[in-house]
Structure 1
């Protein structure tokens, strides 16, 4: 069920504004269009937009760093945004590099919490590449902390998920951490 323009008008009325005043007349249509874009996940429970390539020789850690993302907090429907760094230790296959940012976008286009987003990206990449290990680090600002509640602008939250060899090999995990900072 999509948000309708009438739903937005009711919200504007509920917060004490007049949805028919000149500055707000076109707002309901804009909000409906924005929501369709922001929440553009397809309802798919797995990421399918990728291509795998065989690796001829041993490949060390693959890192894609500082991928920008935007998502919405599932508790307040307010934005959180920042960067994602993803690493994996391939076995026999690698994923096309451009597909990792697409995986991040796919995961972020649904209401979630940062911890869940971090886990979803790690789990999907692990499933797709059958890697020896996966690590995902997210650093983000949350408007639910900056605009309301505690009101702390600029506060950054970091989350990290490690799977496989990244969990057991301290040196590899440290090498990943150096890529993040």
Structure 2
């Protein structure tokens, strides 16, 4: 059945929200809700967001009927949110092929810098940064391709985020996928909510880290990882 054929007149966002509530799940800004979206509903949601954005532009007293620069802005913004910058909320995690650690690799591996883009969930201003990932495998660790770390990071960052929570979400995801002895993630990012508005400080950056397993327990391993990361900034 086409999603638009049932409950005619009910906004698709209401239907999705009702499913989430019935499942007693959370739908915070940085949560993924793809499992509650039925085929065809993302396009309906795009139409709904476009309509709401037209109302926002009208309330901002922008003449979208006669201003050729903004006559399609509502559609562009809706598409940008749902299919680009916030896509990580609305699509399932990328398919990742995992391989056994046939060679029993157990040396430190570092991937990065991985360029990431997100948006602050407070103001929806851009967050632009880089991530470094350190993995200490064991014989039972699942091995994934290097590009897959970037895909997982893009999926987690592709939703409104708080940097501290984003790094933890990414660490949890990689931990589940690979089951390493140790996992370390460092993120450095510029926040436009500080440079574009507010204090308008162009130079400030935020750096935070998550250490799991061996990286948390072994200070020497932690120092080795941090020393091998190129100078940030």
In the superposition, the TM-score normalised over structure 2's length comes to 0.72
Cα pair 1:4 1:32 within 8 Å, conserved? yes
Separation in structure 1 between the aligned mates of residue 91 and residue 208 of structure 2, nearest angstrom: 24
Task: Name whichever structure is richer in strand by fraction.
Answer: 1
The gaps in structure 1 that reach 5 residues or longer are none
Residue 82 of structure 2 is aligned to residue 33 of structure 1: no
Cα pair 2:117 2:126 within 8 Å, conserved? yes
Q: How many residues align?
A: 180
Runs of 4+ in 1 over 4 A off after TM superposition: 42-45
RMSD: 1.8
Deviation at 1:75, TM superposition (A): 1.1
Separation in structure 2 between the aligned mates of residue 129 and residue 84 of structure 1, nearest angstrom: 18
2:118 to 71, 77, 97: 71
Deviation at 1:44, TM superposition (A): 6.7
1:142 to 191, 195, 209: 191
Separation in structure 1 between the aligned mates of residue 89 and residue 216 of structure 2, nearest angstrom: 32
Separation in structure 1 between the aligned mates of residue 104 and residue 221 of structure 2, nearest angstrom: 19
Q: SS in structure 1 opposite 2:87?
A: coil
CA shift digits 1:84-130 (9 cap, x unpaired): 11111011232221110011011011111000111111111111111
**Corresponding residue of 1:49:** 95
1:17 to 44, 50, 62: 62
Residue 200 of structure 2 is aligned to residue 151 of structure 1: yes
Alpha carbons of structure 1 residues 24 and 58: separation in structure 2 relative to 1, 3 Å? closer
Separation in structure 2 between the aligned mates of residue 4 and residue 125 of structure 1, nearest angstrom: 32
**Corresponding residue of 1:4:** 49
Separation in structure 1 between the aligned mates of residue 213 and residue 147 of structure 2, nearest angstrom: 23
Residue 107 of structure 2 is aligned to residue 60 of structure 1: yes
Cα pair 1:65 1:179 within 8 Å, conserved? no
2:166 to 102, 113, 117: 117
Deviation at 1:43, TM superposition (A): 4.6
In the superposition, the TM-score normalised over structure 1's length comes to 0.91
The gaps in structure 2 that reach 5 residues or longer are 1-12, 14-44
Q: Which has the larger radius of gyration?
A: 2
Q: SS in structure 2 opposite 1:4?
A: helix
Deviation at 1:42, TM superposition (A): 5.1
